[in-house]
Amino acid sequence: MTTIHVPRPPKSSMNPNRPASSLLLTQVEQMHAAEKRLPLRYRTDIYINAIRTEREAARYIREVTEAIHQAHADAARSRLQRTPKRTRTLQIAAAADEKPAPVRTIKRASKKENSKTRPKK
Amino acid sequence: MANGSAPGLDGLRHIVVLMMENRSFDHMLGSLSADDPRIDGITSALSNPDTTGAKVNAQPLAEFQGQLDPDPDHHFPAVDLQIFGGDTSDNRTANMSGFVKSYFNQRRDVQHSQKIMYYFPKEKLPVLTTLATEFAVFNRWFASIPGPTICNRAFAHYGTSFGRVDMNLVYINEPFKSIYSRLINASPKHTSKLYYYDVASSTMEIVNLLQNQPELFGTFDQFLGDCSKGQLPDYSFIEPNYSDHDTDSGEELANDQHPDHNVQAGEMYIAQVYMAIKRNPALWASTALLVVYDEHGGIYDHVVPPACQADQFTATANDTGTGREFKFDRLGVRVPAVLISPWIQKGTVVDRTFDHASIPATVTKFFMGDYAPRSPREKNADVFLEPNTQLVDSNRNLLSLTSMRNDCPEFDV
């Protein structure tokens, strides 16, 4: 069995200040489209038209990717919490006499509170 | 059709696809034809005219970085120029003669435009050329569309780009489902994952999936962990790192090989994916890895892309930017593609025609058998792995060995 040496790229290859390519800027725009569908509390405060470099593009992409995962994780958690732990028989019996539940208002968390729930970067 | 003994297929449990960025076949693997004439590669006799009319020959002078800056144009109108040489008549013939002219449009520099004809000598790409010569290299794997990244990558996930030939967001047009949705909703269920490099690189073309089904995604670190723990899904799609960026623990170098990112970083990445599978003996025996590039990135290749089955979508003349509509009835420029498994005969060269629609076509057929609905393009795409549930044509089965090889190379990554 032959072991083949793979040359490492030089350190000088690294240039996060390189202007973001049209591919990367397209990715930013597509992430922005996804971000606009997130609830407000998950959105970034990054102005995408001002993104110029790979580092800036990557920072924005990271924030939106994490926010999407977080929003889905929070939704899954809240779905679990809302599931009543009653048997099927009891549910049907209870539903017969049940009055419509009052509409609950969900208090939107402030941006400051939410920043604590987001993963550390 | 013969019912040949196919223990490689019988034991195949995992298909892994690694899709790199923007390099043509001739640019990366073309030099291999000097050693093996079965490989349809490049010679210095091949040429393109520059804007002065002078002949520019292909040369083995490609560099890892700093040569293709600015990024060569590979949007639909530019690729049309590259393929047809600027002929816009109705009865034109594809001749692959417009690459230098197209690159000239980027910088208006005749000398610089000639670099689009440069290719790598095999010694400079020890990972990709070794894999190509040790396993199966495809002579005719083409991008799905003569256009840019996003629409081409869409074919790898959906078997269609839903009519797009550009970089705009692909809006999923039911009833065509992603290969991932097909697998996880199948009965019996299959497992599937898209591994992006990290959250700062994320996914390039499938934001629609990320925002609706984030549970399908993992990181490259998770891929490495899944390999070592033997928990790789049935089907995995791996994306490279698309940017130089900072992380909590340091810096990450782009390894997608998109110009002007360092090509050696991509070589390292391909080797890491290969070795992650190879280091787990059970996984190595039961996995087929496809390394393929999404499109040619505007870089020279000499093989004329063939006509193909039209898709059910049509891009308007306005969408294509060429004054002509496009029915998705011609493939894009040829790209490097290598299939890896210890059940593949060393030095296999595949001459059948493939494009990225072959990826969902193969994965669907292998794990699920018949499936509907699929796009016309996907239904007509050839498959590179045969299902192990039916008679296997020994002439088409690439995992043809009756016993597993133990001479496969390793890389020091």
Q: Which amino acid is present at B196?
A: Y
CATH number of B7-28+122-380: 3.40.720.10
H runs (alpha helix) in chain A: 22-35, 54-82, 88-97, 111-117
Closest chain A CA to residue B254: A14
Q: Which amino acid is present at B358?
A: S
By a Cβ cutoff of 8 Å, what residues of chain A touch chain B? 1-9, 13-16, 18, 20-24, 26-27, 29-31, 33-34, 37, 54-55, 57-59, 61-62, 64-66, 68-69, 72, 121
Interatomic CA distance for residues A57 and A44, integer angstroms: 13
Q: Which amino acid is present at B60?
A: P
Nearest by CB to residue A6, choosing from B210, B258, B268, is B268
**Which of A21-35, A68-82, B328-342 has the largest mean confidence?**
B328-342
Query: Among B327, B273, B262, B300, which residue's Cα sits nearest to residue B119?
Result: B300
> In chain A, where are the structural domains located?
16-80
**What is the 3-state secondary structure of B44-64?**
CCCEEECCCCCEEECECCCCC
Residues of B in contact with A9 (CB under 8 A): 64-65, 253, 262, 264-265, 268
Interatomic CA distance for residues B75 and B387, integer angstroms: 36
Nearest by CB to residue A26, choosing from B150, B264, B267, is B150
> In chain B, where are the structural domains located?
7-28+122-380
**Beta-strand (E) ranges in B26-169?**
47-49, 55-57, 136-138
- Per residue of chain B (413 residues), what is the pLDDT tens digit? 335 578 999 999 999 999 999 999 999 999 999 999 999 999 999 999 999 999 999 999 999 999 999 999 999 999 999 999 999 999 999 999 999 999 999 999 999 999 999 999 999 999 999 999 999 999 999 999 999 999 999 999 999 999 999 887 676 667 899 999 999 999 999 999 999 999 999 998 677 888 888 999 999 999 999 999 999 999 999 999 999 999 999 999 999 999 999 999 999 999 999 999 999 999 999 999 999 999 999 999 999 999 999 999 999 999 999 999 999 999 999 999 999 999 999 999 999 999 999 999 999 999 999 999 999 999 999 999 988 766 777 778 999 999 999 999 999 99
Residues of A in contact with B409 (CB under 8 A): 1-4
H runs (alpha helix) in B232-357: 263-278, 281-285, 317-320
Residues of A in contact with B239 (CB under 8 A): none
Closest chain B CA to residue A26: B167
Interatomic CA distance for residues A25 and B200, integer angstroms: 13
Residues of B in contact with A26 (CB under 8 A): 149-150, 167
